[in-house]
Amino acid sequence: MEKRCFDLETKALRVIGLSLYTNENAFYKLYSYLVIFLVVTSSYCPLHSMFAESENTSVVIENFTIGSALFIAGLKIIVGYYIRLDLANYLQILLGKEFDTDAEKYGALETKLIDECLRRCNTQTSVFCAIPFLYIFFANIPSIQQRLTKKSGWFLPYGGLPLWDITYSPNYEFALIYVNLANFAVYVSYMVTTAIVISIMVFLSYQCKILQGRIKTCLPRSFKNDVLQWPRLKNNLKDCLNHLTAIMQISQKFEKLLSYLLLVDFIGLSVIIASCLWHSITLESYNFKSAQLITLMLTAVVVEFFTTYWGSEMVKEYLAIGDCCYEIDFVGVDLRFQKSLCFMIQQTQRPIQFTVGGFSPLTMQSFLVIFNKMNKESLFEMNCKTLRWVALSLNRNEPIAYRFFQFVVYMLVVSVALSGLVALFQNLDDRIVTVENIAITGALSLGIYFQNRNNRNNRCFVANIKLFSICYTKNNLAEQLATLNSGVFKDILKSDNIDKTTMIKSAIWIMKFYYYLYQIYPTAYIAFGNTPVFEAKFLSHNNATNWVLPFGGFPAFDIKKNPNYTIAWIYQNVSNFVLYLMYANFNCLFIAVLIYLNLQCKLLQHYIRTSLLPNETTDKTLRWNQLEKELKFIIAYHNSIIDVSQKCSEAFAFTNLVDFVCIAIVTANSICYGLLINKFNFRFIQMLTLGSSAIVTEFFVSYWSSEFTYNFNRIGDACYDVNFINTDVQVQKALCLIIQRSQKSVEFTVGKLRPLNMQTFVTVKVNENGTERNGG
């Protein structure tokens, strides 16, 4: 019966060009590419028209609303197209024997629950597929009315179309057909993609209900002639444990696969709702255009509601599995049965749940509030070498020549902040600006805010503070890096199977990606900063602008003559580039440490699942002395991860505090400065590079710190996945202790004040909005 599940969703996906089958013919592939082309290009026209017709506020808002909705929906569709093959494989697992029902064995309740699940999924999918037709209808009525009444015969339902002139036929008809096809394709594809995500959550919720029924009837089905038969009870218990493990494993796979789809939803749909409300305020009367906007806005609200509702239902039903275990009359039953129930209860205390991009759990609360070659000697070698090049060596035994080089570099970068402080007090004629400067630098004791509002050197001052904190903690950090590159952490990297090799390669690829990304940022910043200088120097005929510098003023001497100007220009570029490079590479090293610790947690999980009680030995009698060595290694490995993580957290705590206090100011000031520029040019791009690098740094460290906490907690899941039934009670007790210790998270912190996670990142971003408003 359950094999009929997802039939409607998979057929709808095939209709919209997102087929889950790999053996489609050439005509279908061509059709699929055409749909993807319509999806990708759909947002261009309204977004382009928003800038082309900037005089009419209502038209600008309309184009922004439609363009942003199409862009967000298109982004989700592209992500869905990218993951569709993995989605197909996971759906086959859901329709496989692990989730098969047996009415004869377990009763007719399972068939009833599956029928109810299928009915709900089909109803929701049908409603989701019908909404785009309603939207297209409401959108085209105003165009047809104005076309028939000749009031404005060339009006399009979804903003403008800048590709050709639409004020005469047949251009207008072609444009009307194109925008309707594009919008309909995007809307339907978006709703079908959403429908299958929700159907997956519905199916998993009902699987939890089915498992609850099996647990409740576990004991009654084990009696024969009024005598409890242990072989029957054992088989029934194994079925329940296997079902629970299957739900856990497939839920984790879907969570990882669909997290970015849900992230696009919760970020993008908020923008859609806000822009629809904004657009509705500008409408003079409530008509079909209002109905179009209401349909779009209600779609966003309904999608968020159903997604979070079924996410919460899945969590609730999973937690209810533990309640069912406790409701069983287990008193006097075999001790092995009671111990297994205890494991099931413990495991279900921490629910499986989908997340929004891996950051926040998908619940109603959310709705309301790779390189082939591996370097096995040291995964941090590239980061440490770059730090040494920029005078931040972590080696204590550097020669005297290198120490002199460090001294020169430190003096160079420190002088950047000192020159900024001097420039702060050079011009005190503007009282308002002076008070503003003193308020920011006095209250925060960190910011440098120039009298011409050129706050680019804020970065230099912040980087100087972090530079001193790095120098203070680098010896401790060097010790922790040496620990991570030796002992059990190094031994576990020896590849002995394909799964472990894949995890290690993936981690190395990610670490190298961040390394090259953080080398690009300083180069781009220097390039964008110097482009306006070259324009003023070689293309401008105004002599007053020929002496402009890329990074603020230079108070040491008069720069309006050569060679003074050239010396100042070289000094600013070298000092800013070196300082930015030092700052970026230390951040890169911190991210690499977080990725490496994530890898170690995953390797420990893999070791527990594959080495402790391998599948081929499950039917043999395993003695305690055979398992003692493996358990000791696992516990020692686990303790090593805990110990080094806590020490690394202490080493990075103060530098994280500098980041989250200072970069908030840098980001807000960069945005304020960018808004004050009258046109979008390279100066604006320079500010955008500076602000985006600050945000990207905060985001990445918060994300990987959250990932580390998540993977550390999953070590307990790996212990639960082990087939511990009938094993020595000491093994079960050791596994129980590991599970309990894994529930207490090891977290990196921001100055030991707050945990370094995505919640802290969001809090800082909210505070930046307040700083930005005050600065503006």
Q: What share of the chain is helix, strand, coil (3-state, %, to 5)?
A: 75, 0, 25
Q: Roughly what angle, to the nearest 10 degrees, separates helices 335-347 and 230-282?
A: 10
Question: Sign of dihedral through CA atoms 114, 120, 122, 124?
Answer: negative
Query: What pLDDT shows up at residue 618?
Result: 44
Residue whose structure tokens are 């439609």: 66
3-state DSSP assignment of residue 6: coil
E strand or H helix at 228: strand 227-228
Report pTM. 0.52
Domain ranges of the chain: 2-216+225-368, 381-775
pLDDT at 215: 80
Instruction: State which residues of the chain have pLDDT below 50.
Output: 1-3, 369-378, 423-424, 427-428, 430-459, 461, 615-622, 771-776
What gap in Å lies between CA 776 and CA 771, rounded to an integer?
Answer: 8
3-state secondary structure of 162: coil
Residue 161 has a pLDDT of: 65
Omega before residue 170 within 30° of 0, cis: yes
pLDDT of residue 763: 67
List pLDDT tens digits, range 628-641: 777 888 888 888 88
What's at 325, amino acid-wise?
C
The alpha carbons of the chain give a radius of gyration, in whole angstroms, of: 31
Closest CA to 696 of 531, 445, 525: 525
Instruction: Tell me the one-letter amino acid at 520.
Output: I
Per-position DSSP letters for 43-85, written without gaps between them: THHHHHHHHHTTT-HHHHHHHHHHHHHHHHHHHHHHHHHHHHH
Residue 6 near residue 91, CB atoms below 8 Å: yes
Question: Which of 742, 754, 751 is CA-nearest to residue 710?
Answer: 742
Q: What is the pLDDT of residue 369?
A: 47
Query: How many angstroms from the chain centroid is the CA of residue 727?
Result: 40
Q: How far apart are CA 228 and CA 220, in angstroms?
A: 9
Any idea which residue has 């190395």 for tokens?
508
The CA–CA distances, whole Å, from 605 to 166, 295, 328, 520, 732 equal 61, 47, 31, 35, 17
Backbone angles phi, psi at 226, to 5 degrees: 60, 20
Is the Cα dihedral 580, 434, 426, 553 positive or negative?
positive
Each as own residue / partner, the long-range contacts of residues 437-443 (CB below 8 Å, 24 or more positions apart, any chain) are 440/665, 440/775
Could you give the angle at the alpha carbon of 292 between the alpha carbons of 290 and 296, nearest 5°? 115
Q: What is the pLDDT of residue 171?
A: 73
Where do runs of H (alpha helix) occur along 217-332?
A: 230-282, 288-327
Task: Give the distance, in angstroms, between the CA of residue 471 and the centroid of all CA atoms in the same chain.
Answer: 31
Give the closest residue to 554 by CA, choosing from 568, 536, 575: 568
User: pLDDT, tens digit, for every residue of 720-746?
Assistant: 777 777 676 777 777 787 777 777 777
**CA nearest to 13, candidates 74, 75, 110, 84:** 84
